[in-house]
């Protein structure tokens, strides 16, 4: 199985902290070193609201990150955000009184094994050999296990600590803290949203505890090693919150625990893995992606979705976007329908908040927030996104309809999802403007956020049209009949080259080479927002998203011609962009398809994970493989129309469809599908 | 002469604090009571950026305000803001140990005499009669004088204090404070922008000083009164800053000081007053306006302009808007050309900042900030105004050209103003979009901020056109010739009913009675910004501003028909709106002209001054009188075309024109202009 390997380079430390994030869905922890390596990474400073794409974030060499996505706090400026909890994996070593620092390590190596999320680390320090292991337990969600093997002939002092001086985007969310050190490290916190968090950490040795000043709890042990003696000990940490449902009884037997953990991971991989023969780069990128999709999802939890950084960083404050429904959901739908259902149930659980949001704008129905947090209220501090990027409600409706098609789960759809769809449609009926027999959707931001204000955005209007159409056909009730007039009058951009929005042709033409000389920087960071907003420059796929979602309705030629029109205008400043292009290119037999797949593959792996994982792109890569390269199509039946590059000999994966499981093997000779009994 | 009279009502206390603000241009102080009357008005809280029109501000019963407009600080969120300095007028009275509070006063009365800005206050308390006077010296700009007359037969303790626990929009800008109490109250502050402020306050009595805990400096005196004995004493305060130019030597003789002060005020009023016979309401409103125009202007200071609240509150953070050039400047131009010149010199002094601002958007030339502070950098925290409301540079150019026309001061114009105009035009040449032989100004916010994003805003394009035209004619150099092609290709909205911007007709029609049932609230606070931005709803005059600035170019009929088209769409949420409507109505013989003048008169007086003075409306009222009612026109000659309502028997005022002074008297029989020798 695949591993992520890190040889230490200071400038990439923060990237590997993100890329090697561990987790079990309930809890995620960035892969910071155990020793206190970075000073001042969490100074109190207030991060200000800004357009995230072009934000100049505060640079720190490293960043602790311990996240339970259900535990959020109120940042005074940035609103509700996932709290960075205390870093409790802390462990320092003193050999002959000299504290270990990475700069004095020899033969240092660290790796994350994707198969079970175990991080193993080896290093030598002053003649001592140290091996460490750590993992977040996949079954006992509250448990984190660390194991240490030390070999040498020195006196060594080990120091276990919890650092609770951490902040989230520079803000301290802990309003009360208390601790005791009588039997290990025991920390209790109260957050500013009244959640209790308890952390208990213990070394499994006789202890000589010493107390340090908060916010740094410490437990010290002295080990007397003899030549070639190996010393093994463990650090167990339990983290619990007042939002937990089932505290679990744990039998603290390392071997038993690890076997249980491995088995749970193995079951996940068994259904989710994609095996690719002949392309190790793609195999690696895809497995890293699948690892993070598995690691960040709590399949039985419907009180949260998956945030834009997959709980591996604070860049998007732990907020949930349309990414969940359009980029992530297909992976879960195919590999774990229960997880897919619970992700959508999060939207059901926050329907009331979406209705309140609609009301705040003067509308009935539901306006799902552009940026959601646990509460379901709008969290976006840039008004233009919050007010105008209204397609998110339609994306949710689209995903719910997709869920019905893929699972056939009418009970859940009728009992839960249909109400959300109806409330979303209600909002849109009131949001439409009427003129001369036509309905217009004015003042809208489409997926391409570089045109912030437009009328009749092609993507948004089309989605609305299709969802109204579905609803009219799905159940013939009063409400569905009422939709007829809106649907039939709705303006749809339907020229052969589809205009992204009204008057798109009037936007300014740019000489990209002139205004964007250094393509290593985002376009949005090079040009002023003002000029950007009035120019033919796209952040990401917009019209192409229509083809992605409604492939059947467009000819290959039309897709291709639209691609050729929009591609030169597209900056790909968003990580959501490349993979859609790759998929459309695959469908139109464009030879650049693999090139764009590679661009998507590089996003996290090529030192892009500093502030967390681009989790939507992880889901995108999966879709790029199954829908793009393999040409999978999910309807009443599942079909494949693969376009494997020559070097890829074989692709194999499993999927769910209408309650059954299948194994598919694709090679250059054909497609072989078998139901798994 | 006119006075503002206040009989105490708790709910209007804050309004009178604003309306009776005293000042000499260098320093302004809100008319808070001297005793510590309001608790907790300045708790530390952070005011957040919001659209100021519809902001729900924190309500406090009262608000200290002590402002030297040159002294600004860095608010961590709201950027550069005028600092609320310590309140140093503090004075408490204890009679038989019982502290004076307004609730226990009898026969309380307070008035501000507009002729010299003296506040006099009378009250009885436990058988003691107290009269207080206070003023900010008009010649010795750093001096504030208070005088107390006490009569009775009790033991009275008086307590002079400085409260330096004040904040600005909830933020503390004082990074260092030190004090001593050896000889009165002596306070030194260092601000977060490194300005030093020194306040020395002294009672002119033998003293028995007692020290209280900071941030409250206190000096106490015990007076033993005998029956019917009158006790008179004085409190002098000097406030100095490191930005002061000429510290002045002062002879502390109350009578001499006051005479000097009165004389300076009298000279100001002599040139600025407008005498109206037959309309006491209009006379009152106009004199209150002129008082504040005189009070808030430091005629010899070109390092600041006049902020939107006339240094009588913090609502707009002490920022300078286009108000200065379009609403205020004509008053100074006619009554005090030196003051007018220095207001424009502020823009000359901040030209470099405006060039830097243009560069930050990728343009050459100068982009004057939508909200300026002392530094000249953009202060607006709402991007759409900062990025898009670009007409401010044109307003400045317009005002500079106006200055030339009214004063004939070619030397100043050629040496200082022309460069600003050229840099503004340079910016616009780069800001224009070219298509098919036409130049468009896209992505613009006009004066009407309720359409936030539009192409070819009529006002902005027309102003640009006229300023280019002027520049081409003014000096025939290379630069002016280059403008020809832009001017001739510039798209101008020139239908008979002038479209406010491209596609204005496509904006949604609103049923105002439906969406705005309670007209006592601003429209903008009733409707969501999202719906507002896509509807035919105007915040304030936009197309009408063209008629206001270029009256000669439009027929009365056309003005009237455009007025009739736009008026039903206009919400007047901005205080800049009514007076322009009144003026255009006067010019088109619309019988509603006086009704709209009255609406403008009510803005501050009718309990609207809580957060400061709507100083632009003060300048507007003056223009409403001279340009509207009196039909004054300033060109190579000055002409009058008065339309006095029947009840107004006579209007008299003085003005400057091309270096000479004139007196004009207007009645229903005609106009009489005399040069003042």
Q: Does B518 touch chain A (CB under 8 A)?
A: no
Q: Which of A272-281, A315-324, B90-99, B508-517 has the lowest mean pLDDT?
A: B90-99
- B435 to chain A, any CB pair closer than 8 A? The answer is yes
A495: helix, strand or coil: coil
Distance CA A370, CA A54 (A): 18
Query: Can you list the alpha helix ranges (DSSP code H) found in A520-614?
Result: 523-526, 529-533, 543-549, 556-566, 577-587, 593-605
- Give the tens place of pLDDT for each residue, B166-178: 989 888 999 999 9
CATH architecture designation of domain A273-676 = Alpha/alpha barrel (1.50)
**Nearest CB partner across the interface for A443, out of B442, B515, B533:** B533
In the predicted model, is pLDDT for residue B626 greater than 80? Answer: yes
* Average pLDDT value for chain B: 92
Q: What local confidence, expressed as pLDDT, does residue A210 receive? A: 40
Left (φ > 0), alpha (ψ -120 to 50) or beta: where does B83 sit? beta
What pLDDT digit, counting tens, does each position of B302-320 carry?
999 999 999 999 889 999 9
CA nearest to A530 within chain B: B387
Please give the radius of gyration of chain B, using alpha carbons only, rounded to the nearest integer: 26
> Distance of alpha carbon B630 from its chain centroid, rounded?
24
How many CB atoms within 10 Å of residue A280?
10
How does pLDDT run across B334-368, given as a tens digit for each residue?
A: 999 999 999 999 999 999 999 999 999 999 999 99
| Tokens of residue A260, six digits | 């249980």
CB A548 within 8 Å of CB A577:
no
Q: How confident is the model at residue A170, as a pLDDT?
A: 83
CB A335 within 8 A of CB A286: no
- Please, what is the Cα angle at B351 between B403 and B415, to 5 degrees? 50
Residue % of chain B over a pLDDT of 70: 95
Cβ separation of A528 and B443 shorter than 8 Å? no
20-59 in B: which are within 8 Å (CB) of A? Answer: 46, 48
Residue B46 confidence (pLDDT): 64
Question: Rounded CA gap, A456 and A442, in Å?
Answer: 6
Q: What contacts A10, CB < 8 A, 6 or more positions away?
A: A61
What are the structure tokens assigned to B432, written together? Answer: 């224009």
Scan for tokens 């107004």, then name that residue. B648
Beta bridge partners of A190: A176, A196
Report the pLDDT value the prediction gives residue B213, as an integer from 0 to 100.
46
Closest listed residue to residue B389, CA positions, set B350, B462, B447: B447
pLDDT band at B476 (very low <50, low <70, confident <90, very high): confident
| Dihedral angle, C-alpha A174, A180, A186, A191, nearest 10 ° | -10
Average pLDDT over residues B422-426: 98
> Which residues from B are below 8 Å from A453, CB to CB?
452-453, 533
Sequence-distant (≥ 6) Cβ neighbours of residue B224 within 8 angstroms: B155
Mean pLDDT of B91-119: 93
Contacts of residue B495, Cβ cutoff 8 Å, sequence gap at least 6: none
Selected for mutation to probe chain B from A49, A75, A78, A383 (highest B CB count within 10 Å) is A383
Backbone angles phi, psi at A66, to 5 degrees: -130, 110
A387 interface with B at CB cutoff 8 Å: yes
List the beta bridge partners of residue A198. A188, A240
Indicate yes or no: CB of A383 within 8 angstroms of CB of B531: no
Phi first, then psi: give them for residue B195, nearest 5 degrees: -90, 140
Residues of B in contact with A48 (CB under 8 A): 77
Residue of A nearest to B386 (CA): A530
Domain spans, chain A: 3-267, 273-676
- What is the model's pLDDT at position B222? 73
A362/B contact by beta carbon, under 8 A: yes
Exposed / middle / buried, residue B529 (Cβ in 10 Å: 0-12, 13-18, 19+): buried
Chain B window 152-191: which residues touch A at a Cβ cutoff of 8 Å? Answer: none
pLDDT at residue B650 is higher than 70 = yes
Q: Which residue of B has its CA nearest to A453?
A: B453
Pick the CATH number of B3-267 from 3.30.360.10, 1.10.287.610, 2.70.98.40, 3.80.10.10: 2.70.98.40
Residue B216 has a pLDDT of: 62
Contacts of A380 in chain B (CB under 8 A): none
Q: Cα(B324)–Cα(A586) distance, rounded to whole angstroms?
A: 60
β-bridge mates for residue A237, sequence order: A144, A201
> Which residues of chain A lie closer than 8 angstroms to B503, CB-CB?
503
Is the pLDDT at B480 greater than 80? The verdict is yes
Dist. CA A465–CA A468, nearest whole Å: 5
Q: Where do the DSSP E strands lie in A17-127?
A: 22-23, 28-29, 66-67, 72-75, 79-82, 87-95, 98-99, 106-113, 118-125
Spell out, as residue ranges, where chain A has pLDDT lower than 50.
206-214
Which chain A residues in 437-496 lie under 8 Å from chain B, judged by CB atoms? 442-443, 452-453, 455
Residue indicated by tokens 């967390």:
A612
Encode pLDDT of A215-261 as tens digits: 667 777 777 777 777 888 889 899 999 998 766 678 778 889 999 99
Query: Residue A50 has what pLDDT?
Result: 66
Residue A207: the pLDDT is 33
Local confidence band at B663 (pLDDT 50, 70, 90 cut-offs): very high
Residues A292-313: tens digit of each pLDDT: 999 999 999 999 999 999 999 9
pLDDT recorded at residue B207: 32
Nearest to A202 by CA among A130, A140, A252, A139: A252
What is the distance between the alpha carbons of residues A507 and A535, in angstroms, rounded to a whole number? Answer: 5
Of B46, B362, B452, nearest to A527 by CB-CB distance is: B362
Q: Do A533 and B435 touch (CB under 8 A)?
A: no
Give dist(CA A152, CA A227) in Å, integer. Answer: 5
8 Å CB contact of A443 and B534? yes
Residue A228 CB neighbours (<10 A): 9
Tokens of A46: 């207030």
What does pTM read for this prediction?
A: 0.92
- Picking from A442, A528, A530, the nearest residue to B508 by CB comes out as A442
Nearest to A387 among B77, B506, B530 (CB): B530
Check A383 against B534: CB less than 8 A apart. Answer: no
Alpha-carbon gap: A528 to the closest alpha carbon of chain B (Å): 5
The pLDDT, as a whole number, for residue B152 is: 85
When computed from its CA atoms, the radius of gyration of chain A, rounded to whole angstroms, is 26
Helix (H, G, I), strand (E, B) or coil at A472: helix
Specify the DSSP element, H or E, that contains B90. strand B87-95
CA terminus-to-terminus distance, chain B? 25
pLDDT of residue A295: 97
| Å between A174 CA and nearest CA of chain B | 19
Q: Give the residue among B652, B585, B597, B591 at the shortest CA–CA distance from B624.
A: B597
Tokens of A77: 């400026």
Is there a contact between B528 and A442 if contact means CB atoms under 8 Å apart? no
Say yes or no to pLDDT of B486 above 60: yes
């Amino acid at each position: 199985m695949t591993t992520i390997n890190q040889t230490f380079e200071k400038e990439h430390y923060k990237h590997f902290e993100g890329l090697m994030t561990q987790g079990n869905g309930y809890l995620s922890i960035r892969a910071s070193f155990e020793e206190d390596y970075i000073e001042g990474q969490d100074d109190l400073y207030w991060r200000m609201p800004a357009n995230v794409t072009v934000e100049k974030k505060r640079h720190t060499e490293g960043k602790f990150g311990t996240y339970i996505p259900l535990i959020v706090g109120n940042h005074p400026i940035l609103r509700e955000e996932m709290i960075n909890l205390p870093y409790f994996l802390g462990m320092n070593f003193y050999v002959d009184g000299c504290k270990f620092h990475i700069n004095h390590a020899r033969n240092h190596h660290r790796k994350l094994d994707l198969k079970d999320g175990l991080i193993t680390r080896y290093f030598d320090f002053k003649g001592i050999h140290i091996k460490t292991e750590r993992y977040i337990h996949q079954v006992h969600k509250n448990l984190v296990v660390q194991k240490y093997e030390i070999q040498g002939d020195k006196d060594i002092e080990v120091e276990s600590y919890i650092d609770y001086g951490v902040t989230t985007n520079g803000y301290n969310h802990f309003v009360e803290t208390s601790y005791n050190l009588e039997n290990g490290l025991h920390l209790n916190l109260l957050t500013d949203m009244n959640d209790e968090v308890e952390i208990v950490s213990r070394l499994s040795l006789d202890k000589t505890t010493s107390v340090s000043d908060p916010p740094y709890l410490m437990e010290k042990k002295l080990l007397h090693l003899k030549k070639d003696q190996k010393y093994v000990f463990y650090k167990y940490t339990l983290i619990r919150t007042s939002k937990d449902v089932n505290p679990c009884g744990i039998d603290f037997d390392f071997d038993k625990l690890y076997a249980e953990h491995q088995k749970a991971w193995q079951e996940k991989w068994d259904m989710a893995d994609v095996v690719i023969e002949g392309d190790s780069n793609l195999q690696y990128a895809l497995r890293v992606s699948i690892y993070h999709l598995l690691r960040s999802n709590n399949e039985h939890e419907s009180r949260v979705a998956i945030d834009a950084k997959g709980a591996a960083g604070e860049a998007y404050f732990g907020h949930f976007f349309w990414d969940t429904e359009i980029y992530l959901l297909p992976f879960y739908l195919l590999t774990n329908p229960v997880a897919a259902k619970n992700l959508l149930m999060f939207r059901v659980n926050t329907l009331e908040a979406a209705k309140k949001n609609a009301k705040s704008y003067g509308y009935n129905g539901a306006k799902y927030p552009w940026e959601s947090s646990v509460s379901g209220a709008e969290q976006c501090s840039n008004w233009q996104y919050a007010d105008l990027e209204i397609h998110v409600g339609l994306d949710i409706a689209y995903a719910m309809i997709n869920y019905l098609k893929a699972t056939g789960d009418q009970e859940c759809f009728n009992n839960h999802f249909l109400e959300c769809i109806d409330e979303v449609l209600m909002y849109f009926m009131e949001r439409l403007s009427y003129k001369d027999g036509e309905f217009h959707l004015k003042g809208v931001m489409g997926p391409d956020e570089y045109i912030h204000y437009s009328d009749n955005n092609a993507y948004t209007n089309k989605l609305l049209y299709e969802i109204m159409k579905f609803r009219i056909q799905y159940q013939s009730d009063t409400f569905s009949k009422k939709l007829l007039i809106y649907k039939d009058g709705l303006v749809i951009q339907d020229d052969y080259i589809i205009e992204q929005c009204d008057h798109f042709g009037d936007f300014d033409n740019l000489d990209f080479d002139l205004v964007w000389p250094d393509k290593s920087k985002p376009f949005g960071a090079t040009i002023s927002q003002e000029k950007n907003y009035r120019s033919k420059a796209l952040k990401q796929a917009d019209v192409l998203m229509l083809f992605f979602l409604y492939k059947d309705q467009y000819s290959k030629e039309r897709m291709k011609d639209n691609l050729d029109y929009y591609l030169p205008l597209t900056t790909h400043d968003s990580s959501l962009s490349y993979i859609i292009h790759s998929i459309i290119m695959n469908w139109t037999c464009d030879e650049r398809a693999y090139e764009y797949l590679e661009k998507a593959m590089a996003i996290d792996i090529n030192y892009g994970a500093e502030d967390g994982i681009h989790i939507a792109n992880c889901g995108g890569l999966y879709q790029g493989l199954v829908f793009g390269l393999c040409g999978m199509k999910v309807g009443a039946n599942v079909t494949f129309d693969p376009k494997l590059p020559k070097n890829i000999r074989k692709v194999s994966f499993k999927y769910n469809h209408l309650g059954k499981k299948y194994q598919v093997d694709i090679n250059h000779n054909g497609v072989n599908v078998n139901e798994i009994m």
